[in-house]
Amino acid sequence: DIAAWVEDSFPVKASADAEWSEGEVYLPAPRPGGDAWVAIDLATGEASSEITSRGWISYLNDLHKGRNSGGEWSLFIDIFAFACLVFAFTGLFLLQLHSAKRKSTWPLVGLGLAIPAAIAVIFIH
C-alpha cells in the first residue's frame, strides 16, 4: 500500500486517495494549519515531498472549522456545540423563571441580541 509506505518514509499522514497521472502518483496530506504532499515519479521511483505551515492562526482556524482535522476532532466539536446549546437553553429557561421578579430581564436579553446584530449589519460587508 502506497499510503502506508509514505507514512513510514515521510513525516506526513497520507490520505487514502492517491491522484494518478501519466508519469506520477501524487498523495495529498492536508493537515490543520498547513499542507503536505508526496509525489512519486513512476519512471524513476524517486519520491519528493513538501510540508508547509500557514502559522498558528491558520491552525486554530482550521481546528475551529474542523478542516483536515480528522473524525475524532469533528466528533469532539459537535459534542461541544451540543453542550453549548444545552447551556444556552437552560440559561434562557432560568431567565424565564426569574423574569417575573426582574422587569429588566427581557429588555436586557433583547439588547444582548440587538447590539451584536447591529454591529454585524454595520461592520460586516
Percent of the chain at pLDDT above 90?
75
- Residue 67, pLDDT > 70, answer yes
Report the pLDDT averaged over residues 13-38: 87
Whole-prediction pTM:
0.70
Give pLDDT tens digits for 68-80. 999 999 999 999 9
How far apart CA 109 and CA 93 sit, in angstroms, is: 12
How far apart CA 122 and CA 125 sit, in angstroms, is: 8
pLDDT at 16: 67
Report domain extents, the chain.
2-59, 70-123
Q: In the predicted model, what is the mean pLDDT of the chain?
A: 92
Residue 28 CB coordination number (10 Å)? 16
Cα Rg for the chain, rounded, in angstroms?
24
How far apart CA 57 and CA 14 sit, in angstroms, is: 23
Q: Per this entry, what is the length of the chain?
A: 125
